[in-house]
């Protein structure tokens, strides 16, 4: 039986030939979650000029040697307006986001100022032109205060976002900051999914005796969508060898990866292993982990050299592969969930050129005992408590999906290691594992 680390290594190695190279150019509006296929360079400084982060007065710090200094207000600069160079010994009324005029080196927030009517002026009525009055500055400023420096976020010529990184909402904002209205991204991974099991019925249909509702279909679809995949759902495949082979062929034709649930054990009703062996190659079918021991992977041939996943046009070296990757997950819903977030996510990252290491576990204190560990590496469904310790869901059966809904993380527990309350355990947040 392979260790999980070895299995992950082999999955990554096996994914190389399927690395995506096709790209598309999208509006930055549509690019959330995609992987950048270009560096995003900035042609401008961001911000493009020194500007104020406060409503107040822009001035030269040296002009206010003591609290109470009074300066004439020589101009008014709202955001979006370019001011004139600051006349020495005066202040400019400024509003958040407005450019700080040349000559000013500090902003005093309006809460530390007193607007005063000037001699013969109409007072600080904010109407601009004459009559801006005076301002009494109540605190001694230091040079640079409340000034956002030109280029402090991104310098002209710098790489704002690097090729191969995932476009998070923050990254989209940064792309927009440098004026990128479109982005070149990798095409989405195309993933086929099907469930096996004659006992499965879809919700909405009556549950005949002996049947259960198909749950993994929903979880796997959701996980694939969250990972930014184009999902091709082949539904429920009956527990028959020929039907399974047929489904694999159909799935391989148009997809980079086939993900299935159930039927990967060695029972008479488990047909995936022989079906994959007949339609491609099976590399492995057992991994030393709990939940998730029956976990098959390999590849399925694409019929007649036709390159369905990538189309005729633009198929670059990596995309000329005449196989689709295959990962067969166990049928139990917790097992398929856990093996997806550990293994399928790793494959998806590998084909998109993203780093494949699992998230770094956080060392946290266990608020539970786990006296009878398994001989396999275990992934326990846990949740943080108010003390920042880790609580265990009381039923760790791989059929109890409630545990995975309740949990906010998994404890990655080494093989045969008992846990006593207060021990440090390795906590993996689900927020990092899902949509990795
Ligand atoms: P299998 O891997 O096919 O032997 O299935 C293992 C267990 O998971 C059995 O109890 C199945 O009934 C159950 N199971 C398999 N597929 C699903 C599914 N899609 N939804 C819910 N339970 C499933
Ligand atoms: Mg089955």
Percent of the chain whose predicted confidence (pLDDT) is above 70: 93
Q: Which residue, among 320, 291, 324, has the nearest Cα to 307 in the 3D structure? A: 320
> What is the average pLDDT score of the chain?
94
CATH topology assigned to domain 51-148 = Molybdopterin biosynthesis moeA protein; domain 3 (2.170.190)
Instruction: Look at the alpha carbons of 174, 176, 180, 184 in this order and tell me if their dihedral is positive or negative.
Output: positive
At 320, is the pLDDT very low, low, confident or very high (cuts 50, 70, 90)?
low
How many alpha carbons lie under 13 Å from residue 347 in its C-beta half-sphere?
29
CB distance 316 to 295 below 8 Å: no
Which ligand minimizes its atom distance to the CA of 328? 1
Tens digits of residue pLDDT in 62-91? 999 999 999 999 999 999 999 999 999 999
Residue 293 Cα to ligand 1 midpoint, Å, equals: 14
Which ligand minimizes its atom distance to the CA of 238? 2
Cβ of 198 less than 6 Å from ligand 1: no
Residues with Cβ within 8 Å of residue 127, at least 6 apart in sequence: none
| Beta bridge mates, 409 | 382, 429
Tens digits of residue pLDDT in 8-30? 999 999 999 999 999 999 999 99
Give buried/exposed letters for 155-179 (b at 16+ CB in 10 A, else e).
eeeeebbeeeebbeeebbebbebbe
What is the CATH number that goes with domain 362-434? 2.40.340.10
Domain boundaries defined on the chain: 4-22+188-351, 26-44+153-186, 51-148, 362-434
Cβ of 353 less than 6 Å from ligand 1: no
Please tell me the predicted confidence (pLDDT) of residue 304: 60
Give the span between the Cα atoms of 18 and 307, in whole angstroms. Answer: 12
Please tell me the predicted confidence (pLDDT) of residue 95: 98
Give the closest residue (by CA) to ligand 1 atom 23: 331
Give the span between the Cα atoms of 158 and 290, in whole angstroms. Answer: 46
At 313, is the pLDDT very low, low, confident or very high (cuts 50, 70, 90)?
very low
| Beta bridge mates, 357 | none
| Residues near ion ligand 2 (Cβ under 5 Å) | 197, 262-263
Q: Which residue, among 220, 224, 226, has the nearest Cα to 194 in the 3D structure? A: 220
Ligand 1 pocket mutation, candidates 213, 223, 261, criterion most atoms within 8 A of CB: 261
Cβ of 133 less than 6 Å from ligand 1: no
Average the pLDDT over 265-278 and give the result.
Answer: 94
At 120, is the pLDDT very low, low, confident or very high (cuts 50, 70, 90)?
very low
Q: Which residue has the higher pLDDT, 170 or 307?
A: 170
Cβ of 263 less than 6 Å from ligand 1: yes
Is the predicted pLDDT of residue 129 greater than 50, yes or no? no
- Specify the ligand 1 atom closest to the Cα of 294: 2
Is the predicted pLDDT of residue 364 greater than 90, yes or no? yes
Cβ of 244 less than 6 Å from ligand 1: no
Total count of residues recorded for the chain: 436
Give the span between the Cα atoms of 140 and 434, in whole angstroms. Answer: 51
Ligand 1 pocket mutation, candidates 332, 334, 338, 399, criterion most atoms within 8 A of CB: 332
Cβ of 118 less than 6 Å from ligand 1: no
Residues with Cβ within 8 Å of residue 419, at least 6 apart in sequence: 366, 368, 369, 370, 371, 373, 411, 413, 425
Ligand 1 pocket mutation, candidates 197, 214, 330, criterion most atoms within 8 A of CB: 197
Report the predicted TM-score, pTM, of the whole model to 2 decimal places.
Answer: 0.91
Phi/psi of residue 80, nearest 5 degrees: 95, -5
At 315, is the pLDDT very low, low, confident or very high (cuts 50, 70, 90)?
very low
User: Which of the listed CATH numbers 3.40.190.290, 3.40.50.1860, 3.90.105.10, 3.40.50.1970 matches domain 26-44+153-186?
Assistant: 3.90.105.10
Tens digits of residue pLDDT in 388-407? 999 999 999 999 999 999 99
Is the predicted pLDDT of residue 140 greater than 90, yes or no? yes
At 119, is the pLDDT very low, low, confident or very high (cuts 50, 70, 90)?
low
Assigned CATH class of 4-22+188-351:
alpha beta
Tens digits of residue pLDDT in 245-258? 999 999 999 999 99
Please tell me the predicted confidence (pLDDT) of residue 321: 78
Which ligand minimizes its atom distance to the CA of 266? 1
Please tell me the predicted confidence (pLDDT) of residue 296: 96
Beta strands 134-137 and 69-77 are: antiparallel
- Reduced to 3 states (helix: H, G, I; strand: E, B; else coil), residue 308 is coil
Phi/psi of residue 10, nearest 5 degrees: -70, -35
At 127, is the pLDDT very low, low, confident or very high (cuts 50, 70, 90)?
very low
């Amino acid at each position: 039986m392979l260790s999980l680390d070895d299995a992950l290594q082999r999955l990554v190695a096996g994914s190389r030939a399927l690395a995506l190279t096709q790209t598309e150019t999208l509006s930055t509006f549509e690019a959330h979650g995609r992987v950048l296929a270009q560096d995003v360079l900035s042609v401008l400084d961001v911000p493009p000029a020194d500007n104020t982060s406060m409503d107040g007065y822009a001035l030269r710090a040296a002009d206010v040697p003591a609290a109470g200094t009074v300066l004439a207000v020589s101009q008014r600069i709202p955001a979006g307006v370019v001011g004139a160079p600051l006349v020495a010994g005066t202040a400019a009324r400024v509003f958040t986001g407005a450019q700080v005029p040349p000559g000013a080196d500090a902003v005093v927030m309006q809460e530390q100022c007193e607007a005063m009517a000037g001699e013969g002026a109409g007072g600080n009525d904010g109407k601009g032109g004459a009559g801006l009055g005076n301002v009494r500055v109540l605190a001694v400023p230091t040079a640079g205060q409340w000034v956002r420096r030109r280029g402090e976020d991104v310098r002209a010529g710098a790489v704002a976002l690097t090729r191969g990184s995932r476009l998070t909402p923050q990254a989209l904002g940064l792309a927009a900051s440098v004026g990128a209205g479109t982005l070149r991204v990798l095409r989405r991974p195309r993933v086929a999914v099907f469930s096996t099991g004659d006992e499965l019925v879809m919700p909405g249909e009556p549950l005949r005796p002996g049947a259960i509702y198909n749950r993994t279909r929903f979880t796997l679809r959701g996980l694939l969508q969250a990972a930014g995949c184009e999902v091709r759902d082949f539904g429920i495949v009956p527990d028959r060898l020929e039907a399974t082979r047929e489904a694999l062929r159909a799935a391989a034709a148009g997809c980079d990866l086939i993900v299935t649930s159930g039927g990967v054990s060695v029972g008479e009703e488990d047909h995936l292993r022989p079906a994959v062996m007949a339609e491609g190659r099976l590399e492995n079918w057992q991994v030393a982990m709990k939940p998730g021991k029956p976990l098959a992977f390999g590849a399925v041939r694409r019929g007649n050299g036709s390159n369905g996943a990538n189309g005729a046009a633009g198929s670059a070296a990596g995309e000329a592969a005449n196989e689709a990757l295959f990962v067969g997950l166990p049928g139990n819903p917790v097992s398929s969930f856990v093996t997806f977030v550990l293994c399928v996510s790793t494959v998806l990252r590998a084909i998109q050129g993203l780093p494949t290491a699992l998230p770094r576990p956080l060392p946290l204190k266990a608020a539970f005992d786990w006296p009878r560990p398994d001989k396999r590496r275990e992934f326990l469904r846990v949740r943080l408590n108010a003390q920042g310790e880790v609580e265990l869901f009381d039923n760790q059966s791989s059929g109890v999906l409630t545990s995975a809904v309740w949990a906010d993380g998994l404890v990655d527990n080494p093989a045969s290691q008992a846990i006593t309350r207060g021990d440090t355990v390795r906590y993996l947040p689900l927020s990092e594992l899902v949509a990795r």
